[in-house]
């Protein structure tokens, strides 16, 4: 792996996604999460069908595929769609993480945590009745 090559790929992805958004907008998510998943599945299906002919050897299949819209193009599309899905959910997930952290830490002050005053609350169900 060469980080500089990965950086170039992702920068190219960002440029291509920005251009596509100018033309297509957010059409990729028009049908919600199920539609977005099916979009990913279709790209994977194309990769699967093409590499099956080569006993699943994706490297050999790519080397033998000279079409501009070939396997590498499908890989690029899938990678970009995955970026779109992750980016779409990133803000939502950060908000969910914030809510969870607030719920877990509500009522806990730093001095209580540092001095070990926070302990597991027990109730009648925690007692050992197996005498």
pLDDT digits (tens, 9 = 90+) for 50-96: 999 999 999 999 999 999 889 999 999 999 999 999 999 887 787 78
Q: In this structure, is residue 101 part of a structural domain? A: yes
Residue 130: inside a domain:
no
Q: Could you tell me if 95 and 105 are in contact, meaning their C-beta atoms sit under 8 angstroms apart? A: no
Flag whether pLDDT at 117 surpasses 80. no
Please count the structural domains in the chain.
1
* Residue 86, domain member (yes or no): yes
**What would you report as the CA-atom Rg of the chain, rounded to the nearest whole angstrom?**
24
Residue indicated by tokens 């998943």: 37
Residue 117 within any structural domain of the chain: no
Q: What percent of the chain has pLDDT over 70?
A: 81
The model carries a pTM of 0.68
Q: Is 131 inside a domain boundary?
A: no
Mean residue pLDDT across the chain: 84
Which token pair is 34? Answer: 């199920």
Answer whether residue 36 is part of any domain.
Answer: yes
Neighbours of 79 (CB within 10 A): 14
Tell whether 120 is covered by a domain. no
Least Cα distance to 19 among 80, 71, 75 occurs for 80
- 95 part of a folded domain: yes
State how far the alpha carbon of 23 is from the alpha carbons of 19, 20, 28, 79, 113, in Å.
7, 5, 12, 19, 53
Tell me what percent of the residues of the chain surpass a pLDDT of 90.
58
Tokens of 129: 């009745």
2 token code pair:
């060469």
Residue span of the structural domain in which 57 resides: 17-105
Coil, strand, or helix at residue 120? coil
Q: What local confidence, expressed as pLDDT, does residue 97 receive?
A: 79
User: What is the spatial distance between Cα 35 and Cα 37, in angstroms, rounded to a whole number?
Assistant: 5
Is a pLDDT exceeding 80 seen at residue 109?
A: no
């Amino acid at each position: 792996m060469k980080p500089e090559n990965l950086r170039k790929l992702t920068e190219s992805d960002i440029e291509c996604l920005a251009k596509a958004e100018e033309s297509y907008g957010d059409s990729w998510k028009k049908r919600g999460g199920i539609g977005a998943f099916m979009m990913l599945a279709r790209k994977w299906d194309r990769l699967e069908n093409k590499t099956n002919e080569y006993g699943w050897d994706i490297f050999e299949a790519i080397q033998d595929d000279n079409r501009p819209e070939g396997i590498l193009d499908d890989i690029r599309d899938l990678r970009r769609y995955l970026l779109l899905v992750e980016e779409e959910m990133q803000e939502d997930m950060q908000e969910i993480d914030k809510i969870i952290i607030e719920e877990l830490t509500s009522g806990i002050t730093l001095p209580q945590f540092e001095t070990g005053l926070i302990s597991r609350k027990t109730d009648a169900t925690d007692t050992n009745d197996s005498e």
